[in-house]
């Protein structure tokens, strides 16, 4: 499919993340302080809440005031048929062929200077460990290459239940956490600020329709509303002391940053690709009926306080061993109900080469090989004042389907009166 033309001229350039082919969904704060739902188009936002209020747009014939509260949670629960019909409405409104375009100009808001909000209410958050290169790298560091992957890894999407309350929208500062730390030569732990704070480059899948009981991989894919960029901030030294025997806990509870625009599955349909060949056959319930991954180019930049950014990693979402649909399917095997607004983190997305590694733990090989930035500074792990920015897009024929950016700046740990 070529670039679709819009009457919003900024949407017709090959460089924009938000052509008419994309139409991602976000939430923003208006001048009067209210939260509104919006659709990104070029460098503008179409105010969906205002259009609904004025009777120019409806989510469906049966529902009104779906966008009244300024996020997309209620809309997500309406299901795939409504999602498809609504996308067709928005596409028609913003198409270059729409003769009513002059009436819609007043419903456009510039993206620059507009405060973006969480685009949906996070019901539950689950983070997976489903990137093979990342799992192999981390396992090699701690157990050697011969035992890098746990025995179950090639059979099951490994994950853990995280904190929905810690999920924040891009642009939110992240304060360095305190926690229990114990070095290899320490007899006992101490309570101190994390010294090995890290990022994890991930994609997040958002559940739109709920489930009861187990679902198939195809049904799971049908349930997914869309995708966001996701940074799973990780306190490696806290994690090293706490993770046995039950896995991550406080090391992963500081923050999880997501990009403000939900790119719908419909926008990504032309970029589907298959998961890799299996080293051993998956159990039948996890086998996919068709391509369930996406070809999405990803990058991470790191900018020290007051200095230019360095691109520290480039990779692709197609490196995942398990798709989001497989992860969601497995999540339901116990009968666990999935809810509208559940967020699934993919796990760190790393490629085969050093420059493809999606965490500083891998890039610096546990701190043994510090990374040199373009500024001349080095990093083994994140320092106060560092700003991390994740970007991603799927490249089409003269256009791209972009996610915008997912950004966070590290604040000092600060005083802790309980330390």
Positions marked catalytic: 134
Give the number of other Cβ atoms within 10 Å of residue 108's Cβ. Answer: 17
Say which DSSP state 243 is in: -
Residues counted in the chain? 419
Contact indicator for 359, 134 with CB cutoff of 8 Å: yes
Give the number of other Cβ atoms within 10 Å of residue 299's Cβ. Answer: 17
DSSP for 72-106 reads SHHHHTT-HHHHHHHHHHHHHHHBTT-TTHHHHGG
Q: 54 forms bridges with which residues in the sheet?
A: none
Say which DSSP state 10 is in: G
DSSP for 295-360 reads --EEEEEEE-TTS--EEEEEEEGGGBSS-HHHHHHHHTTT-PPP-TT-EEE------SSGGG-SSH
Q: 393 forms bridges with which residues in the sheet?
A: 297, 402
Q: Which long-range contacts (CB under 8 A, 24 or more apart) does 4-9 make?
A: 4/91, 4/95, 4/399, 5/95, 5/96, 6/41, 6/42, 6/94, 6/95, 6/96, 7/94, 7/95, 7/96, 7/98, 7/101, 8/41, 8/42, 8/44, 8/94, 8/108, 9/42
Give the number of other Cβ atoms within 10 Å of residue 195's Cβ. Answer: 16
Burial of 140 (0-12, 13-18, 19+ CB in 10 A): middle
Contact indicator for 26, 40 with CB cutoff of 8 Å: yes
Of the candidates 53, 161, 131, 41, the residue with the CA atom closest to the CA atom of residue 95:
41
Q: 298 forms bridges with which residues in the sheet?
A: 315, 392
Name 54's Cβ contacts closer than 8 Å, sequence gap at least 6.
Answer: none
């Amino acid at each position: 499919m070529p670039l679709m033309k819009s009457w919003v001229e900024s949407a017709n350039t090959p460089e924009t993340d938000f052509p008419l082919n994309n139409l991602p969904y976000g939430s923003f704060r208006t001048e009067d302080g209210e939260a509104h739902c919006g659709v990104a188009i070029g460098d503008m936002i179409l105010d969906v809440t205002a259009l609904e209020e004025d009777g120019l747009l409806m989510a469906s014939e049966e529902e009104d005031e779906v966008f009244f509260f300024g996020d997309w949670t209620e809309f997500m629960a309406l299901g795939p048929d409504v999602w498809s019909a609504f996308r067709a409405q928005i596409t028609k409104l913003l198409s270059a062929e729409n003769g009513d375009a002059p009436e819609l100009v007043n419903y456009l808001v510039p993206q620059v200077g507009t405060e973006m909000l969480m685009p949906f209410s996070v019901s539950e958050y689950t983070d997976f460990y489903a990137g093979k290169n990342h799992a192999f790298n981390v396992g090699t560091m701690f157990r050697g290459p011969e035992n890098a992957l746990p025995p179950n890894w090639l059979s099951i999407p490994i994950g853990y239940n995280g904190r929905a309350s810690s999920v924040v929208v891009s642009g939110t500062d992240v304060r360095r956490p305190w926690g229990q730390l114990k070095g290899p030569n320490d007899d006992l732990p101490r309570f101190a600020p994390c010294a090995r704070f890290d990022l994890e480059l991930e994609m997040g899948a958002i559940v739109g329709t709920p489930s009861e009981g187990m679902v198939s991989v195809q049904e799971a894919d049908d349930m997914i509303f869309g995708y966001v960029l996701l940074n799973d901030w990780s306190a490696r030294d806290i994690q090293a002391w706490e993770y046995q025997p039950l896995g991550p806990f406080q090391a992963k509870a500081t923050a999880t940053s997501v990009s403000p625009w939900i790119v719908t599955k419909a926008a990504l349909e032309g970029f589907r690709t298959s998961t890799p060949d299996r080293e051993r056959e998956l159990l039948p319930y996890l086998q996919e009926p068709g391509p369930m991954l996406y070809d999405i180019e990803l990058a991470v930049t790191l900018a020290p306080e007051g200095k230019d950014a360095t691109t520290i990693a480039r990779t692709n979402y197609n490196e995942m061993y398990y798709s989001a649909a497989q992860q969601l399917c497995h999540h339901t095997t116990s009968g666990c109900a999935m809810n509208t607004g559940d967020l699934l983190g993919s796990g760190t997305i790393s490629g085969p080469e050093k420059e493809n590694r999606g965490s500083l733990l891998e890039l610096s090989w546990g701190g043994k090989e510090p990374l040199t930035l373009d500024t001349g500074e080095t990093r083994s792990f994140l320092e106060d004042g560092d700003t991390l920015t994740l970007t991603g897009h799927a490249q089409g024929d003269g256009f791209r389907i972009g996610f915008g950016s997912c950004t966070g700046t590290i604040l000092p740990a600060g005083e802790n009166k309980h330390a």
